[in-house]
Amino acid sequence: MRPASSLATGQSFDPALRGYIIHYHVGEANHCPSCGRSQWLVGRIMAECAYCETALPLENNRGVGACARFVRTHAPAQPVGGGGPTIA
């Protein structure tokens, strides 16, 4: 009997759980996992094979998606330079 796939059980598919994710590495020789060629169209987030159009995420952009990242600090901002003139 075949095991039920994660899609059949209602769970979302996450290839990171399989332990191996192919990334495009900037500055290295990258061969396409589909066709084996090494001509790429590189964008800001993805690289696409120029022959078979296989898309790979860039290695240096892991964890950065299309949505804005907000950083909240708990300390209020301090003025720089010792303060300015005061009006009395």
Q: CA-to-CA distance for 11 and 1, rounded, in angstroms? A: 20
Beta bridge partners of 57: 46
Torsion, Cα 24 30 36 37, to 10 degrees, reads 110
Please check whether residue 3 is in contact with residue 37, taking contact to mean a CB–CB distance below 8 angstroms. Answer: no
- Run means of pLDDT, 10 residues per run, the chain, 88 residues: 56 67 88 93 93 90 58 68 61
pTM: 0.50
pLDDT of residue 86: 61
